[in-house]
């Protein structure tokens, strides 16, 4: 892990090129108060919503993510990039980029993925499952992380061919 900066892949194909065969990918939806997590299967076909972690001081966040990455044998991370609707980057996107750079101590390659419609998609899915408004509030971030991760997995599958 030396002093090497983290590899922040510019595309799914670039991430695919540095990932070992198989292994779990971790998806993150960075909120101001919480971090939604999602995990893939080892074959990179399916994303499943994980836990929603309370967001606090970065050192605490990093240790929680390190524990999760070690427990689940994570080989790469997909971080939601909150672009503006016109595709430009505002302060939230810059914050997500900085957060991704700060994950360097984990020693895992990272892909920033456009998350513009992830929360709305997750909300629709939870409503379709008849999840109450109260329960949706506690699960929306992890489900948004699963939407982000699934989109990246679909792109990774395309990068295989």
pTM of the model: 0.85
Give residue 105's pLDDT band: very low, low, confident or very high (50, 70, 90).
Answer: very high
Topology (CATH) of 18-159: Nucleotidyltransferase; domain 5 (3.30.420)
CA atoms within a 13 Å half-sphere pointing along the CA-CB vector of 137: 3
- Per-residue pLDDT tens digits for 38-86: 999 999 999 999 999 999 899 999 999 999 999 999 999 999 998 878 8
Gyration radius from the chain CA atoms? 15
Domain ranges of the chain: 18-159
- Per-residue pLDDT tens digits for 77-99: 999 998 878 888 889 899 999 99
């Amino acid at each position: 892990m030396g002093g090497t900066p983290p590899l922040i892949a510019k595309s799914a194909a670039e991430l695919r090129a540095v990932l070992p065969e198989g292994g779990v990918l971790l998806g993150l939806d960075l909120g101001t108060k919480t971090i939604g997590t999602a995990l893939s299967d080892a074959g990179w076909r399916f994303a499943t919503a994980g836990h929603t972690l309370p967001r606090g001081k970065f050192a605490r966040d990093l240790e929680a993510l390190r524990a999760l990455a070690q427990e689940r044998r994570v080989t790469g991370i997909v971080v939601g990039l909150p672009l503006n609707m016109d595709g430009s980057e505002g302060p939230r996107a810059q914050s997500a980029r900085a957060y991704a750079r700060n994950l360097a101590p984990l020693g895992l390659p990272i892909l920033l993925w456009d998350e513009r419609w992830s929360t709305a998609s997750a909300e629709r899915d939870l409503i379709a499952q008849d999840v109450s408004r109260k329960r949706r509030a506690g699960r929306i971030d992890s489900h948004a992380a699963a939407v982000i991760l699934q989109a990246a997995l679909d792109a990774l599958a395309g990068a295989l061919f």
